[in-house]
Amino acid sequence: MTSEATSRQADQIPADLLAEIEERITHYPVSKRSASLPLLHLWQNHFGFIDDSGIEWIATKLELTPVNIYELVTFYPWFRREAAGKTIIRVCRTLACAMAGSYGLREKFCEAAGVDVHHESHGFGHAPPTSPDGKFSVEFVECLASCGTAPVCLINDELYESVTPEEVPSIVKELAAG
Amino acid sequence: MVSLIPQPHPRERRIIFENISRPGWSNDIETYLAHGGYEQLKKALGMQPAEIVDAVKAANLRGRGGAGFPCGVKWGFIKRDDGKPHYIVVNGDESEPGTFKDRYILHNDPHQLIEGILIAAWALNVNLAYIYIRCEFPHAAKIVWNAIKEAKARGFVGKNICGSGFDCDIYVHQGAAAYICGEETSLIESLEGKRPYPRIKPPYFPAVLGLYMSPTIVNNVETLCHVVHILRMGAAEYAKMGTPGDGGTRTMCVSGDVVRPGYYELPAGAVTLGELIHDVCGGLKPGRKLKAVIPGGSSAKVMRADEVYKIKTKAADGTMVEKEVAMLDVVMDAASLASVGTMVGSGGVMVMDDSRDMVWALNNLNQFYAHESCGQCTPCREGSLWMSKVTTRLLTGQGAANDPATLLNVADNIAGRTVCAFGEACAWPTQSFLAKFPEEFAALAESK
């Protein structure tokens, strides 16, 4: 890195991400603005979160003003303005899972992953509570639509069903190794 | 693929879940074609579009997303030749607590959905359709997108479908974890790239002013799958499976305190609530008694186990008579559940036994609605948070004596005073839990 190098995400877009962005915009022949959410997903998947330069870059790309993108980032719980852990453990909080013990499950995951159990986070761009080593984030999310196999959690892209507190340490150990 | 595919209970009739229950079933196009896949699309392309709309009307298909609007009537609002572009938007945002049927369709049988979309597209003169899938189903988005590509390679999607001259493109659009986007006008705003505040109806009925201010049909994933079977079986045969006004089968998602939770597919009205719980789902856990059931997703009004409803029905001589029906004898179809003041909704049946504290259960739902209110309308934005605060303080021993009354007052001032049905969705649990289990709220309020 030279001294002129920046940490702005918009200065570090690789060619394959750019190609994916261009292709994704073609899915919306009537209005480019419809590509806002897909672009935010692509951006966050690549960079881990969305910084100011990302908001400005996407807005410019879609011929919008930054506030059009900013108001989405601050509305949807999925998007973050800061880095989360490498592995994100999303424990379902809603009724069927709560009845099946998801509150205790979240505590178990926090304990096993080294995440502060008292730290709760609810959107607005904040990253979910993360372990000091940056390996894990653990958070409650609302209904994951798998109430028949409660309690469930979504760990990165994988759904874990009928999770018992006893198996939490081994799940976390496996994730840490993987 | 989702791992859990239980075999059907003898009382079930699987139509929507027929494929995914087959031994060795795979979600690729070859498997779908080997089981008669896309034959109904070919048949549809040889039919007059109006014939298809009439068939869906005659089948008495109701929307499976929650509101239960007759699908054929909705389709009838689209004027095929008005010269405007028309769109189909598939609601795959499945987020209503208690509901988990579309998850299995999207992951395990995406071609069934695509075939349904294409039949609808031909009937309604649609050349562009979007499937809105919640981002918490990351694999589903990939699977459905891959299925679209497979279908395109076979000439079922894209230009000149099956040589008919009809074109239709389908794309997947992922949400970003907001429950409100399951509301159809919010979903449209989200798809337009805007902050997804629901639109007010009138004038913004999607069939008139929908996506990009053009006539748009928003249908649930399961609803569009049913269309394939209406063509396959014929509208009359299909309708016969259900009750008058509620045709076909219904997928039921059962969760909570039963021995065998999971998804089941039953002809509409084929079982009572008691038969569903005790026969199909194996009853309650040992030593437990039934306390309450939420019959149609978390927004549906709760039913109390010892309740006896007075239902007005038409006698043989045409006069109206009042009949007493115990809670477990209520039939699981749209009209019966409506007649006892709740709804079949999205088919999410949540069962609670006598180990459950009703204030705790309501508080869980109140926290859900407080988190998910979009914030556009003041009564809902403020009220959902207040309801959550009041039930939380009741549970932590910090409630006031008049908290049950306060809670009801807040709920009563949300329902009917908001742009979208979220207002009712968040008020109904509080109103119904208070009405059905007043003693539990009073005990906490007075224990101070």
Residue B5 is predicted with a pLDDT of 54
Mean pLDDT of chain A: 94
Co-location of B197 and B218 in the same domain? yes
Is the predicted pLDDT of residue B56 greater than 80, yes or no? Answer: yes
Name the minimum distance, in Å, from the CA of A137 to any CA of chain B.
Answer: 16
Contact between B215 and B78 under an 8 Å Cβ cutoff? The reply is yes
Q: Distance (Å, rounded) from C-alpha B192 to C-alpha B188?
A: 6
Domain of B378, in residue numbers = 358-446
Strand partners of residue B297: none
Q: Is residue B14 part of a domain?
A: no
Q: B288-325, pLDDT tens digit by residue?
A: 999 999 999 999 999 999 999 998 877 778 888 889 99
Residues of A in contact with B356 (CB under 8 A): 99
CATH number of the domain bearing residue B411: 1.20.1440.230
CATH number of the domain bearing residue B335: 3.10.20.600
Contact B212 A31 (CB under 8 A): yes
Q: Is residue B388 part of a domain?
A: yes
Angle between helices B438-446 and B378-395 (to 10 degrees): 70
Contact between A161 and A146 under an 8 Å Cβ cutoff? The reply is yes
Residues of B in contact with A142 (CB under 8 A): 95, 97, 177, 179, 368, 371-372
Q: DSSP 3-state assignment of A142?
A: coil
Residues of A in contact with B98 (CB under 8 A): 95-96, 143, 147
Q: DSSP 3-state assignment of A178?
A: coil
Q: Which domains does chain A have, with CATH numbers?
A: 14-73 (no CATH), 87-177 (3.40.30.10)
At A4, is the pLDDT very low, low, confident or very high (cuts 50, 70, 90)? low
Contact between B417 and B379 under an 8 Å Cβ cutoff? The reply is yes
DSSP letter string, B307-347: -EEEEEEE-TTS-EEEEEEEGGG-BSSHHHHHHTT---TTS
Residues of B in contact with A30 (CB under 8 A): 85, 128, 212
Co-location of B142 and B156 in the same domain? yes
- Using CA atoms, how far residue A126 sits from A49, A66, A73, A90, in Å, is 10, 19, 10, 15
Q: A26 and chain B: CB distance < 8 Å anywhere?
A: no
Residue with tokens 């929650």: B66
Q: B57-82, pLDDT tens digit by residue?
A: 999 999 998 888 999 999 999 999 99
Q: Distance (Å, rounded) from C-alpha A82 to C-alpha B234?
A: 55
Q: What are phi and psi of A47, to 5 degrees?
A: -95, -15
CA angle B80, B85, B87 (to 5 degrees): 85
Co-location of B328 and B423 in the same domain? no
Co-location of B342 and B201 in the same domain? no
Q: A34 and chain B: CB distance < 8 Å anywhere?
A: yes
Which H or E run contains A139? strand A136-141
Q: B175-225, pLDDT tens digit by residue?
A: 999 999 999 999 999 999 999 999 999 999 999 999 999 999 999 999 999
DSSP classification of residue B258: B
Name the residue among A18, A158, A80 with its Cα closest to residue B177: A80
Q: DSSP 3-state assignment of B157?
A: coil
